[in-house]
Amino acid sequence: MDESKIEQMRSTLNKLEDIKNSQESIIDKINHVITDLFQHPDKELEKAMNDAHQKSSDNVDAVREAMEEYEMRINKLENQD
């Protein structure tokens, strides 16, 4: 097993985790704006925020799936003799 390759892959996995966390933070901020819109309605902004929320959620799902697949590849490499 190539330790440097596995280390590089783990580093990439950590970056993917950071991307996922950033997207989740964006979703949280969008939710705050959506909540504020209950008191100060703006249909156009609400639509834009709902669209942004959906896109961010899709991004989180895509990154999570990529992470799971990548981690399986790392584990497979680690278990090879």
Domain range annotation of the chain: 3-79
Number of helices followed by number of strands (H, E) in the chain: 2, 0
Please, what is the end-to-end C-alpha distance for the chain in angstroms? Answer: 6
Answer positive or negative: Cα dihedral of 19, 52, 61, 70.
negative
Q: What integer best gives the mean pLDDT of the chain?
A: 96
Cβ atoms 9, 77 nearer than 8 A: yes
Confidence class of residue 9 from pLDDT cuts 50, 70 and 90?
very high
Q: What is the pLDDT of residue 2?
A: 84
Please tell me the predicted confidence (pLDDT) of residue 80.
85
pLDDT in tens, 36-72: 999 999 999 999 999 999 999 999 999 999 999 999 9
Angstrom distance (rounded) from CA 62 to CA 71:
14
Give the pLDDT score at 1.
Answer: 59
Length of the chain (residues): 81
